């Protein structure tokens, strides 16, 4: 199972002063030293954290999977076609949101997503769709040509007790449906050191995509150690 670390919020701290530190490229390097199997960045339309320079440098220096999260816009498709990340994860994007709030609305954006996938795959870029825990969304993802999906785990992460168990079942049913259809199945959003083990226990999941909790811990103990500790949790499960 892959552990892919999102370094967006290292860039968030940098942008607070509009300076050059801390550098998400250095954070990515330390994450890889700590055992990360991939690095994720989200290049937003408003460039609120990760910027074009970050993408260009990371593309040149990251030896593991580089996953570019982005909206399915003409600008982002051009950028991805030029930079050639290993994986593009298409996500919904709202200017006023603090973070991605849920999965794509595949019914309303089906044609646009299918066109984006076609262009990206022609460039040899694997594509993933960030979806809600929904069997219908998995079926649509397969139909429009995605290589894999990433299931939004935010509701699971925010729930407690029996409600969390119900959310876990939803996510795992979605994962299993994807695997049955030949899609890679990833999960992410809100996963942390306390709740990740339930997903790490299964062989059905291709990758865990985690950012905020690792960066938060890294502020206190360092990026390499923070990633190493998360990697240990994944391996023990």
State the CB neighbour count (10 A cutoff) for residue 203: 7
Distance CA 151, CA 102 (A): 9
State the CB neighbour count (10 A cutoff) for residue 111: 9
Which of 194, 206, 121 shows the shortest CA–CA distance to 164? Answer: 194
Distance CA 5, CA 41 (A): 9
Q: Which residues are catalytic?
A: 42, 69, 189
State the CB neighbour count (10 A cutoff) for residue 215: 25
Contact indicator for 125, 163 with CB cutoff of 8 Å: no
- How distant is the alpha carbon of residue 16 from its chain centre? 23
Q: Where are the alpha helices (DSSP H) in the chain?
A: 8-17, 24-33, 52-61, 74-83, 106-122, 135-143, 154-158, 161-180, 197-200, 212-221, 223-236
User: Dihedrals φ, ψ of 32, to 5°?
Assistant: -65, -40
Segment (H or E) for 68 = strand 65-70
Q: What six digits make up the tokens of 232?
A: 């240990």
């Amino acid at each position: 199972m892959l552990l892919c670390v999102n370094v967006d919020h290292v860039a968030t701290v940098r942008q607070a002063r509009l300076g050059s530190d801390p550098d998400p490229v250095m954070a990515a390097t330390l994450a890889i030293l700590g055992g990360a199997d991939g690095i994720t960045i989200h290049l937003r339309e408003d460039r609120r954290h990760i910027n074009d320079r970050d993408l260009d440098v990371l593309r040149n220096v990251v030896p593991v999977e580089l996953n570019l999260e982005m909206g399915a816009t003409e600008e982002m498709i051009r950028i991805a076609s030029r930079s050639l990340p290993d994986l593009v994860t298409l996500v919904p994007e709202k200017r006023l949101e603090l973070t991605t709030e849920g999965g794509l609305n595949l019914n309303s954006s089906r044609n646009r997503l299918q066109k984006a996938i076609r262009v990206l795959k022609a460039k040899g870029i694997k594509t993933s769709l960030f979806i809600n825990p929904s069997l219908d969304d998995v079926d649509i993802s397969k139909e429009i040509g995605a290589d894999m999906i990433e299931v939004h785990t935010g509701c699971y992460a925010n729930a407690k007790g029996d409600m969390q168990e119900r959310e876990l079942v939803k996510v795992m049913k979605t994962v299993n449906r994807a695997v049955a259809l030949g899609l890679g199945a990833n999960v992410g959003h809100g996963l942390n050191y306390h709740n990740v083990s339930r997903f790490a226990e299964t062989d059905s999941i291709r990758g865990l995509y985690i950012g905020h909790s690792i960066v938060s811990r890294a502020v206190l103990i360092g990026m390499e150690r923070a990633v190493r500790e998360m990697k240990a949790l994944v391996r023990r499960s």
